Chain A
């Protein structure tokens, strides 16, 4: 067990070290003291408030990572998670504010709308792929722009809350019944103290559930088996009786459905949103692609990656005032991702070579010892 964890974290640790080295070099070149910068970053994150903020920020990142991973597992690059979640958040936010339901139904209703909208939007790329052979990467990317346009249009024309006037456009505020309560009471029950005005968002358990469902579906279900099979070897999947077109459609729907949930923590738990509007965060889908890569499509890996991402963002927030460019955070993230991809590949090649050698050794071992060369022309 320990051995396994150590092996899985070796490459990320190497990547983290080289990211720190690269960003230190960048700091030195720009005339800053890396030691001071990292000390300041540590000071920023070393508080309960920071930990809670990091967790809150990492939840949508995590969901975005899982959404991308669903596609990656089948070799489908769903680059359109961004558009999927924006459209899903808009329609779910509008529908959630329009209906009135008891709390136990209201939240699931909003989630369901988001899942259906996200999945359906991704399904467009799937249908184009299986009927017209349109490349999924291209169609999902382009559908991002269409989604941005469509949601801006829908918001302006139909879903806008008329009471907020002026230049700001947003949907109506979600009613009380559509809000997930903060998790603070649970932790306080265990004697954990929160500073005032700090809330741990109630969406966290749902995110964990998404990861568990993803893991079980992929590793314990026949659907997951056939999904991985189709991704790794479509010809063998066909021979094993798997319909690849159906798999493309289902997988893209699922990936889009998970992507549809990316905006939900803001709609259901974040007191500064609770509605879809111009200020809604727009780039989380793209971040998720990198996080799936970093977390190697494993839910625990993606969670770790999401937390690292949120930590770097939080840590660099207070660098500006002391004169250190906060862009160092982007350098840290970028060099970390790049080094991790390289380190994974190096480790993978080494492991593959070792596995082949081990198999060869096992085969040779079982063979009878070599006999003397048989003389030519004398049948043995």
Chain B
């Protein structure tokens, strides 16, 4: 078993050009149909992937991308259609069959044992050596070789729990390469990465293809798809709706329109509704670093949000945005003052702050914003449980909660079979619409929206933008934190840039370009504050 990894993509893998000029086809899926009870997840999907290319598969949540990839990886069998690998029709009964054909999958959620080392994780299930002894030295050497070869250096003896997200992903990729995969499927590989890590990832993927590997990746970040993919397949409602061999021929807008099948709304806000009434004022807000001596996580931040205003916070992730949100909502110990609509709330606990009118859309809805096994009407009460119509003295008003949830579901277009289903049954976009609807119906004075459209499909994104705009017109003050610069520029009335816990610039979204914003965010340009 120890030498199985030896046929990982080698430099001499066929990468020759066909007479027509394009590389030969590595994977050909024809007319794939996959049905689940009540749903047709794939309804005639075609996919052609050529040797040595980085091929992107894009589509909305629920379009059938993951189902298709599971078919290719052998996790389930298609009901109709054929899979051809290297021109040969294959039937995969299990992922084992797929890996035998050189197809490996890197999942979005890491499947690593945190208390084992890198090499132990990589060989797990495919251990080198004899039945009674593990060839640890051989495994380490092999992993170092693979790492050197493809630019995926990881210390084989490091503990997984000590690694960052980028390194963990490298380990996942190495795991697949170790098993001899030549065709790698990556399910939303960049969802968990920060921008620098995204660049490093694609550099590694490039290196892999240069040495003969073929990469298929799923994404809904269209900019990154356009920047890094050699070819793109667009899937909508279980069907292939676009096959693009030259990504430079499309814009991300056209791609997005193909994904949703209709014209796309833009995040631009219409006429200004900003008033001069302060609804939230932050003065010298500071969150200390728990490690003594280190610089503050949030450092002396002061600004005001007016009624009817959206204040955008731009910044590379990890520059104090989360701490700012937590300090306002009362989830982090902070110094300085927070005045909400004329009342100092700095010393109030989270519950009283939220009850006095701070709406909160958490950065990670599944972790902080929803309770997955709770039914929708239980989730609708979350954070507002003491207020009408959810709370009634010490009692939980089940009937009131149900009625209110029904209203939220209808008003905010949460697509669900009913309100008596657990939250985990909904797609990401519908979960987020429930969260946004919940916060809006509580009639907040200020909304703290952290990445309100992260990981939702284009349709839900547009709906959430509309909700934020309407609330702004109705006089809501909003703090919008987002990694999507287009969203920030489009929605905000005013943009603040955060760097190392401080506000380093204030810019006018009407005149700033994403490139300029980017240089403020990295500290290349300073000033304007």
Binary flags per residue of B412-430, CB closer than 8 Å to A gives 1, else 0: 0001110001101111001
Check: B24 CB closer than 8 A to any chain A CB: no
Of the candidates B39, B329, B372, B378, the one whose C-beta lies within 8 Å of that of A364 is B39
Hey, which chain B residues are within 8 Å of A366, CB to CB? 415
Any chain B CB within 8 A of the CB of A370?
yes
Is B250 a contact partner of A364 (Cβ separation < 8 A)? no
Are B382 and A236 within 8 A (Cβ)? yes
Contact indicator A239/B383 (Cβ below 8 Å): yes
Give chain A nearest CB distance to B322 CB in angstroms: 12
CA–CA, A242 and B385, complex, Å: 10
Interface residues on B, range: 35 or more
- Contact at B422–A236, with CB atoms within 8 Å? no
B351-A242 in contact (CB<8A): yes
**Also in contact, A221 and B395, with CB within 8 A (given A236-B368, A240-B383):** yes
Q: Tell me whether A241 and B352 are in contact in the complex, defined as CB-CB below 8 angstroms, given that A362-B417, A368-B261 are known contacts.
A: yes
Given contacts A238-B350, A362-B415, A379-B257, contact A357 B38 (CB under 8 A): yes
Q: Are B37 and A359 in contact (CB under 8 A)?
A: no
Chain A interface size, as a band, is 35 or more
The answer to whether B37 and A370 touch across the interface, beta carbons within 8 angstroms, is no
Interface readout for B11-43 with A: 1 if CB under 8 Å, 0 if not? Answer: 000000000000000000000000011111100
- Contact indicator per residue, chain B 222-245, by CB within 8 Å of chain A (1) or not (0): 000000000000001101111010
A29 contacts B by Cβ under 8 Å: no
Which residues of the partner chain B approach A25 to less than 8 Å between Cβ atoms? none
Within 8 A of B (CB), among A222-265: 222-226, 228-229, 232-233, 235-236, 238-243
- Chain A residues near B239 (CB-CB < 8 A): 370, 373
A198 close to chain B: CB less than 8 A: no
Tell me which residues across on chain A come within 8 A of B250, comparing CB atoms. Answer: 376-377
By a CB distance below 8 angstroms, the chain B residues around A371 are 261
**Is A360 in contact with chain B by the CB < 8 A criterion?**
yes
Which single residue of chain B is at the shortest CB-CB distance from A243?
Answer: B349
- B residues within 8 A CB of A225? 378, 381, 385, 396
Among B239, B249, B416, B417, find the residue whose CB has the most chain A CB atoms closer than 10 A.
B417
Central interface residue in A219, A359, A362, A363, by most chain B CB within 10 Å = A359
Q: Which of B356-407 contact A (CB under 8 A)?
A: 360, 362, 367-374, 378, 381-383, 385-386, 391, 394-396, 398
Known: A236-B368, A240-B382, A370-B236. A362 touches B416 (CB 8 A): yes
Q: Are B38 and A370 in contact (CB under 8 A)?
A: no
A224 and B396 within 8 A (CB): yes
The answer to whether B362 touches A239, judged by C-beta atoms less than 8 angstroms apart, is yes
**Are A380 and B263 in contact (CB-based, < 8 A)?**
yes
- The A67-108 residues at the B interface (CB cut-off 8 A) are none
CB-defined contacts of A355 to chain B, threshold 8 Å = 421-422, 425
Known A-B contacts A373-B241, A376-B244, A377-B254; the reply to A222 vs B391 at CB < 8 A is yes
Q: Give the residue of A242, A361, A376 whose beta carbon is less than 8 angstroms from that of B242.
A: A376
Q: How far is the CA of A357 from the CA of B37 in the complex (A)?
A: 6
Q: Is the CB of A232 within 8 A of B373?
A: yes
Residues of A within 8 A of B347 (CB): none
Distance A173 CA – B242 CA, assembled complex (angstroms): 86
Say how far B507's CB is from chain A's closest CB, in angstroms.
Answer: 30
| Distance of A212 from chain B, by nearest CB (Å) | 15
Q: Can you name the residue of chain A whose Cβ is closest to the Cβ of B249?
A: A377
**Once bound together, how far apart are the Cα atoms of A222 and B330, in whole Å?**
21
B354 at the A interface (CB under 8 A): yes
Distance between B282 CB and nearest chain A CB, rounded to angstroms: 19
A374: interface (CB < 8 Å) = yes
In whole Å, how far is A245's beta carbon from the nearest beta carbon of chain B? 12
Which single residue of chain A is at the shortest CB-CB distance from B420?
A355
Check A241 against B37 for contact (C-beta < 8 Å). Answer: no
Q: A236-B371, A379-B257 are in contact. Are A220 and B395 (CB under 8 A)?
A: yes
* A361→B39 contact, CB < 8 A: yes
Q: Which of B37, B38, B249, B421 has the most A CB atoms < 10 Å from its CB?
A: B38
Residue A342 at the chain B interface, CB threshold 8 Å: no
Q: Which residue of B lies closest to A238 (CB)?
A: B331
Query: Separation in Å of the A357 CB from the closest CB of chain B?
Result: 5
Interface residues of A in 325-379 (CB under 8 A from B): 352, 354-364, 366-368, 370-371, 373-374, 376-377, 379
Are B427 and A373 in contact, CB atoms less than 8 angstroms apart?
no
> Does B301 touch A at the CB level, under 8 Å?
no
Bound complex: CA A66 to CA B417 (Å): 34
Contact A367 B38, CB 8 Å, known A221-B396, A233-B371, A358-B421: no
Does any Cβ of A come within 8 Å of B336's Cβ?
no
Complex Cα distance, B263 from A283, in Å, reads 68
B62 at interface (Cβ–Cβ under 8 A)?
yes
* Smallest CB gap from A373: residue in B: B241
B295: Cβ under 8 A from any A Cβ = no
A220:B396 contact, CB within 8 angstroms: yes
- B370 to chain A: closest residue by CB: A236
The 8 closest A-B pairs by CB, nearest first: A241-B351, A361-B38, A359-B425, A362-B417, A241-B350, A240-B383, A373-B241, A363-B415
Instruction: Apart from A220-B396, A352-B425, A359-B416, list 18 A-B contacts with CB within 8 A.
Output: A220-B395, A224-B396, A229-B382, A232-B372, A236-B371, A239-B331, A239-B368, A240-B350, A240-B382, A240-B383, A352-B424, A359-B417, A360-B38, A368-B261, A376-B249, A377-B250, A379-B253, A380-B263
**Residues of chain B at the chain A interface (Cβ within 8 Å):** 36-41, 62, 236-237, 239-242, 244, 249-250, 253-254, 257-258, 261-263, 329-331, 349-355, 360, 362, 367-374, 378, 381-383, 385-386, 391, 394-396, 398, 415-417, 421-422, 424-427, 430
